[in-house]
Amino acid sequence: MSSLAPDEFATETVYLNTASHGLPSARSLAALQQVNAFWVAGRGTPATRDDLVPELRAGFARLLAGASADDIALGGTVAGLIAPVAAALPPGAEVLLAEGEFSSVSMPFVHRGDLAVRFVPLERIAEEVRPETELVAVSVVQSKDGRTIDLPVLRAATRAHNARLLADATQAAGWVPLRFDDADYWVCATFKWLIGARSVTFFAAAPEAAAGLRPISPGWYAAADRWAELYDPIALPNTAHRFDSTPDWLGVVAALAGLSLIEELTIDKIGAHNRELAARFRNGLAELGFQSVPADSAIVSVPGAGDAAARLEEAGVITSARGGGLRFSFHLYNSTDDVDRALTALAER
């Protein structure tokens, strides 16, 4: 199996580290070069491409089936966009989190200081929702080991107990189909599977879910008519755009280019490609005597093997060590040759 977009990527390594950071596409680099050349020539600034922001919102809304561009806000970090959700909870509210959850999801709640934060095994999170639970926050795909959550089942549990659900799609968007209605709040960084930019992160919420949230320290970009009212007290919009922070417009250019490629290839095709490569790799690991974390996921984790990351890098296989394990991640630019080269490198121990 070849990569899905061979003309867009020219890697010199076996890059199996998308779960840390995706690779930029050729179209992304070309778009950035064009904006920078315009800027260097004194013919504008990166902000001149603010016209791309509506396109970027609409592109993510299409990936989050059922959402609209008005439901999408732009920020810089996952934790920063979770902050209004954490701030809106009443003192003592119970927040349910998965054990081993990525800290950008858990820390806004843990460090508020007056919430009843409860960690439970990921596999039991739906059945652990109870009447006193105010919010469940969870990653659709776990960063540490690639385990996935059945979001519709969890959504049904939160609805049954009148709890809100926040989903982090950072490790899922780009290869897992997502439905807007499967959570009340969504956050998603673009620099991993969406092959976007480190500086661009999405927040999504339907009007009903967002009604009780207030922006924290909104800036000029959150205004209803931002370019017309730069200097006076200004009104905030009723849409999710009120949670915007000033974007890195170069990041917007890169993120939009990444989204365009994802949409062309389609989530279904990318997801099938990624899972097939990961399954081939898991089978190869088993033949070599390694035990991987069971998951139907593009992320493959080998517990206890984290020390091998440096040795694999010397062999040109780029992975990451997470939680003591060795984490491999397969995306649209990977191929069966990458799988086989990684297995060969692991066999030379």
pLDDT of 88 over the 70 cut: yes
Map out the domains of the chain as residue ranges. Answer: 14-24+266-347, 29-264
List, for residues 260-276, the tens digit of each pLDDT value.
Answer: 999 999 999 999 999 99
Supply the pLDDT for residue 349: 65
Q: pLDDT category, 1, cuts 50, 70, 90?
A: confident
List, for residues 27-65, the tens digit of each pLDDT value.
Answer: 999 999 999 999 999 999 999 999 999 999 999 999 999
Q: pLDDT category, 228, cuts 50, 70, 90?
A: confident
* Beta-ladder partners of 168: 139, 187
pTM (predicted TM-score)? 0.96
Q: How far is the C-alpha of 186 from the C-alpha of 78, rounded, in Å?
A: 10
The two structure tokens encoding residue 8: 């867009």
Supply the pLDDT for residue 106: 98
Whether the CB-CB separation of 186 and 65 falls below 8 Å is answered with no
CATH topology classification for 29-264? Aspartate Aminotransferase; domain 2 (3.40.640)
Q: Looking at domain 14-24+266-347, which CATH architecture does it have?
A: Alpha-Beta Complex (3.90)
Q: What is the mean pLDDT of residues 311-339?
A: 96
Q: What is the mean pLDDT of residues 74-85?
A: 98
Supply the pLDDT for residue 229: 83
